[in-house]
Homo-oligomer: A and B are copies of this chain.
Amino acid sequence: MALINEDYLKLPDNYLFTEIARKINILKATRGNAKVIHLDAGDTSCILRGELYNTLKQSLEESVEWEGSREFNAEEHHKTLVTRILKNEFETRGVKLTPSEIFLSDSAKNAAEDFNDILSTDNIIGILDPSYPAYIYSNVMNGRAGERMNDGRWSNLVYIPCNQENGFKPQIPKEKLDVIYLNLPNNPMGITMDSSELKKWVKYAMDNQTLIIFDAAHVHYITEEGVPHSIYEIKGAKKVAVEIRTLSKTTGYTGTNFSYTIIPNEVSAYTKMGEQVSIQKLWQRRHTSKYNGMPYNSLIAAEAAYSPQGLKERQELVNYYMTNAKLIKETLTKHGYKVWGGTNSPYVWVKTPNGMSSWKFFEQMLYEYNIVCTPGVGFCPGGEGYVRFTGFAKHEQVKEAMNRINNKIKM
């Protein structure tokens, strides 16, 4: 008799974005002409910028023809891409890495989720609260989270609170944690850490043989000085951290995913008997078996993203989205909302007024203004009482949305 993995039954029925979509569908069913503006996830509609687009088109044209078909050399492009990543992302920050420490993959989200496959189910996992839900769900699926409790938290996970009292900055845990997810600049709260703060986390990890999964998906949105872009800017981090990066947030190329994970030669974890094992070697084993390589089109586009023109255009796109975030932040602040983020991140984290619940405020925004934000509670129980707005949208949409709020234009 075929048995299921019963950990999957523990997962709550509706994933955050599915539930949001459902509520929007209800609105549209009752008011067919509703002009809904998405300031929730956004940027999923496969937008290519100039250089990426041109290179992709050109590469198709230049492909070698044989007997009616066309052939490419993926290997060379792979090499070029990795060299460009090392040069532009790490050397400029004083971080030395080698090509064998970079693993290309489809999506940063999946890399973060899949990475815990190579870790024991016995690890005690620390996550920020609120946090990006994928970290939690992938641990539930792998039988590491325990049971879902009444407050929505999981019995075997350790929640590191980020709240108004600590300015949404997580404090070093008192417990000895085995694995910690650090997501900086943070999603959903938009916060960062400076070098001295991040040093404490690396020291904690070294002292406790903790592995840090450092998700730097939004690194290109950092505008302030003194904020490390890579965890490897901190001495010792190569021994205790893997780092996840994506290009999709700066190329608008979400639909043709490309991301990469840095797994330094030195980073280790342990067997139950205390034997030290190279994480790179384990991941290499999973990767060669479970990953088929980057699709050719994604590879070409990723390479173009690191050309001088590609880099320039990506910066323009970052500025574009940050202008949106700034406008959202200013508008909401003006109307008396308490607001965080939006400085080193395209996310604006907003406290709901009068202790209103996240979903209640979400519904109010949706039904009154036809604006979609993301209920903070969807990011963990610690996000209750907050919502997240994102700058990942078109200027004109953000302007219209803010105009509705400014002028109390009820839809």
**In the assembled complex, how far is the CB of residue A28 from the closest CB belonging to chain B, in whole angstroms?**
15
Task: Indicate whether A120 sits within 8 Å of B3 (C-beta atoms), given known contacts A255-B296, A290-B110.
Answer: yes
**A120 surroundings in chain B (CB, below 8 A):** 3-6
Interface centre among A63, A74, A123, A292, by most chain B C-beta atoms within 10 angstroms, is A292
A282 within 8 A of B: yes
Taken together as a complex, chains A and B put the C-alpha atoms of A298 and B56 apart, in Å, by: 13
Q: Smallest CB-CB separation from A134: which chain B residue?
A: B289
Taken together as a complex, chains A and B put the C-alpha atoms of A207 and B208 apart, in Å, by: 52
Q: Smallest CB-CB separation from A108: which chain B residue?
A: B292
Q: Which of the 9-residue segments A44-52, A214-222, A350-358 touches chain B?
A: A44-52
Taken together as a complex, chains A and B put the C-alpha atoms of A119 and B6 apart, in Å, by: 8
Taken together as a complex, chains A and B put the C-alpha atoms of A209 and B272 apart, in Å, by: 36
Taken together as a complex, chains A and B put the C-alpha atoms of A53 and B277 apart, in Å, by: 45
Report yes or no: A74 in contact with B255, Cβ–Cβ below 8 A: yes
**In the assembled complex, how far is the CB of residue A295 from the closest CB belonging to chain B, in whole angstroms?**
4
**A106 surroundings in chain B (CB, below 8 A):** 106, 292
Report yes or no: A67 in contact with B289, Cβ–Cβ below 8 A: no
Q: Which of the 9-residue segments A8-16, A158-166, A327-335, A367-375 touches chain B?
A: A8-16
Taken together as a complex, chains A and B put the C-alpha atoms of A49 and B3 apart, in Å, by: 42
Of the residues B46, B285, B295, B317, contact of A71 by C-beta under 8 Å: B46
Taken together as a complex, chains A and B put the C-alpha atoms of A222 and B395 apart, in Å, by: 53
Taken together as a complex, chains A and B put the C-alpha atoms of A137 and B295 apart, in Å, by: 23
Of the residues B3, B178, B279, B394, contact of A119 by C-beta under 8 Å: B3
**A 226-260 to B, binary, CB cutoff 8 A, 1 in contact else 0:** 00000000000000000000000000101111000
**A141 surroundings in chain B (CB, below 8 A):** 117, 286, 289
**A197 surroundings in chain B (CB, below 8 A):** none
A381 within 8 A of B: no
**A2 surroundings in chain B (CB, below 8 A):** 119, 123, 178-179, 209-211, 269-270
Q: How many residues of A contact B (CB 8 A)?
A: 86
**A252 surroundings in chain B (CB, below 8 A):** 69
Taken together as a complex, chains A and B put the C-alpha atoms of A274 and B2 apart, in Å, by: 10
A57 within 8 A of B: yes
**A 89-126 to B, binary, CB cutoff 8 A, 1 in contact else 0:** 00000000000000000110110011001111111000
**In the assembled complex, how far is the CB of residue A77 from the closest CB belonging to chain B, in whole angstroms?**
10
Taken together as a complex, chains A and B put the C-alpha atoms of A176 and B176 apart, in Å, by: 45
Taken together as a complex, chains A and B put the C-alpha atoms of A355 and B122 apart, in Å, by: 47
A336 within 8 A of B: no
**In the assembled complex, how far is the CB of residue A102 from the closest CB belonging to chain B, in whole angstroms?**
18
**In the assembled complex, how far is the CB of residue A55 from the closest CB belonging to chain B, in whole angstroms?**
11
**A 36-70 to B, binary, CB cutoff 8 A, 1 in contact else 0:** 00000000111111100100110011010011111
Task: Indicate whether A70 sits within 8 Å of B53 (C-beta atoms), given known contacts A15-B289, A292-B257.
Answer: yes
A192 within 8 A of B: no
**A 195-211 to B, binary, CB cutoff 8 A, 1 in contact else 0:** 00000000000001111
**In the assembled complex, how far is the CB of residue A10 from the closest CB belonging to chain B, in whole angstroms?**
10
Task: Indicate whether A6 sits within 8 Å of B272 (C-beta atoms), given known contacts A49-B69, A252-B69, A290-B110.
Answer: yes
**A110 surroundings in chain B (CB, below 8 A):** 290-292
Q: Smallest CB-CB separation from A110: which chain B residue?
A: B290
Report yes or no: B296 in contact with A3, Cβ–Cβ below 8 A: no
A146 within 8 A of B: no
Report yes or no: A5 in contact with B134, Cβ–Cβ below 8 A: no
**A 149-185 to B, binary, CB cutoff 8 A, 1 in contact else 0:** 0000000000000000000000000001011000000
**Can you list 8 A-B pairs, Cβ within 8 angstroms, ordered by A?**
A2-B178, A3-B122, A4-B119, A4-B269, A6-B120, A11-B285, A46-B296, A47-B69
Top 4 A-B residue pairs of the complex, sorted by shortest distance between their CB atoms: A3-B120, A2-B211, A256-B295, A255-B296
